[in-house]
Structure 1
């Protein structure tokens, strides 16, 4: 189903709800049996009838979003406003909730429902979930209810969710996913049966797209089983926390000059590595895993303040979850929490990717690095004495590692 057809379809459902009829975007039997619509909610008594009738979701994202008073929330594909209104009650008068929808009819219905509910801390926006009409770092929480599966560009949706979240912000949605190997025709039929116009993502691919966008702490929890490998699911993730005016995001090719300059500044101290000259960007990227590279950036200028990256320690399968990492912070930004934020994000991303051991070698004289790593669970496991000659001096290297308590246990 094309984008305009999806909008027309949901606009018709909005008009049905406005006329007092319950909306359903799949067969009524499948809708009721699958727990779609208002079945997942226990707070319906506080909502206008129109919001309940227009409920088309596959879960209750508000119940898992852990909303707190004063937070700002964005609902992607807000429909008749049921999740916006429930969120508004939880964040209270000091908070705010945005509902985004591409259907003008749904927005009109949602605004009427908000008026009936007396919700003054809500705002409904006309736009698409692939291009959110909000500035960077504008919200604390992104929720959505069975809408992301409708998009034909799910990577763009998740990238936009990351962009509009503040550091430390949370992503908590209900959606439809595919799990396991299934017959493609039967799976497609099941997706059509539950209203997945653009096709549901496999759970593993969903995790991968969230990680590529920059999210960590990714969890996909299957809920209702709709048959043939199609499930409702709760999908949760977080944007890495960071000091004020700093953001942690995946490293890009456009960061090359700044990353290498920070690398060289660290090497120039004589305490970071046996290396004395930073490699070319081609050499840097060839030696490091593509999915475990992050930078810390100034949110005002975009300047790279530090970076962390990992290399595989071996091509042998038994070492698949063991990596060696490097972390460097701009000389003018040290002792400001940048390194800690980078390392925390890296640890979380590594565990999402199945890394059970992070290791590195550190000069004993590099007290700041050792203190940072010890604070985040690294331990010294040995000393390689006089392992290399650096600037005319034979030096020892402390071998440090962190074993995950989550992965590989």
Structure 2
């Protein structure tokens, strides 16, 4: 279904709900079996009837988002406002909830529902979920209910969600997914039964897109089974936490000059590596895994103040979950918690990727790096004595590793 067709479809449903017609009506048993609507909620008695009539979701994202008092929430594809109004009650008067929708009719319906509910801490925005009309790092939680699967550019939706979330912010949505492959005939059959299937992502692809956007701690929990490999699901992820004024995000090609400058500054100390000259960007990218490289960026200037990346230890399949990492922080920004934030984000992302062992070598004189790693669960495996000459001097290397308790079981 094209973007304009989707808007027209849901605008018509909004007008039907506004006219008093029920556009989604199924009991709890039917909802559990895959019917979409308001039956997945247990707080309907506090909502205006119009918001309940217009509910077209496939779950209850408010129930899994763990909303706290005072938080700011964004609902992607807010429809008649049911999740916005429930979220507004959770975050209280000190919090704020934005509802974003591309249908003017849905927005008009939602605003009337909010007025009827007496909700003063909500605001409805007109726009698309691929281009959110909010500033960077302006919300604490992104929720959505059976809307992202309708988008023709899900990578853009997830990138926008990452952009508007503050460091440490949470992504918690209900959506429709495909578990494994699904043949075209089965997809058509599922579409005819429940709708909303044509754009559903396979679970593995959903995970990949979330990781590419920069999210970590990704969890996709299948809920209702609609048959033919189609499921409703709860999708949860976290934007890496950081120190104030710094954001952890995926490394980009445009970061090359600053990343290599920080690399060289670390090498110049004589305590970071046996290397003495940073590689070219081509050499750097060829040696590092594309999905496990992050930077710490100043939120005011965009300046890169640190980076972390990993390389494979061996091409042999038995070592598929073992990587060697490096973490570097700008000399003027050390001892501010940036290295810890980078390494914490890297560990979470590596576990999402199935990495069970992270290893590295540290010069014994680099006490700060050793302390940082030990504080995040790395253990000393041993010391390789006089393993190489550095500037004419034989150096020892402490070999460290971190074994995951989440991956590799």
Shift of 1:184: 2.6
Aligned with 1:265: secondary structure?
helix
Counterpart contact for 2:190–2:197, Cα < 8 Å: no
Distance in 1 (CA, whole Å) between partners of 2:187 and 2:332 is 54
Task: Mark the runs of 5 or more structure 1 residues left unpaired by the alignment.
Answer: none
Partner residue in 2 for 1:40: 40
Counterpart check, 1:178 vs 2:178: yes
Distance in 2 (CA, whole Å) between partners of 1:16 and 1:167 is 40
Counterpart contact for 2:197–2:230, Cα < 8 Å: no
Aligned with 1:307: secondary structure?
strand
Counterpart check, 1:237 vs 2:216: no
Give RMSD over aligned pairs.
1.4
TM-score (norm 2): 0.98
Partner residue in 2 for 1:73: 73
Once the two structures are superposed, the pairs formed by residues 8-407 of structure 1 within 5 Å of their partners are: 8-24=8-24, 33-196=33-196, 198-407=198-407
Aligned with 1:326: secondary structure?
strand
Counterpart contact for 2:33–2:225, Cα < 8 Å: no
Counterpart contact for 2:187–2:197, Cα < 8 Å: no
Judge which range, 372-381 or 198-207, deviates more: 198-207
> Measured at CA, do residues 119 and 190 of structure 1 come closer, stay the same or move farther in structure 2, by a change above 3 Å?
same
Distance in 2 (CA, whole Å) between partners of 1:201 and 1:193 is 18
Shift of 1:394: 0.5
- 1:182-220 C-alpha deviation (Å, 9 max, x unpaired): 323212331343222651000110000000000000000
Distance in 1 (CA, whole Å) between partners of 2:241 and 2:181 is 36
Distance in 2 (CA, whole Å) between partners of 1:361 and 1:197 is 48
> Measured at CA, do residues 92 and 110 of structure 1 come closer, stay the same or move farther in structure 2, by a change above 3 Å?
same
Shift of 1:25: 11
Distance in 1 (CA, whole Å) between partners of 2:207 and 2:192 is 23
Q: Displaced runs of 4+ in structure 1, greater than 3 A?
A: 29-33
Aligned with 1:75: secondary structure?
strand
Task: Mark the runs of 5 or more structure 2 residues left unpaired by the alignment.
Answer: none
Counterpart contact for 1:360–1:400, Cα < 8 Å: yes
Counterpart contact for 1:313–1:323, Cα < 8 Å: yes
Distance in 2 (CA, whole Å) between partners of 1:33 and 1:380 is 51
Distance in 2 (CA, whole Å) between partners of 1:25 and 1:155 is 32
TM-score (norm 1): 0.98
Counterpart contact for 1:191–1:199, Cα < 8 Å: no
Aligned with 1:402: secondary structure?
strand
- Paired residues, number: 407
Distance in 1 (CA, whole Å) between partners of 2:257 and 2:331 is 16
Shift of 1:23: 1.2
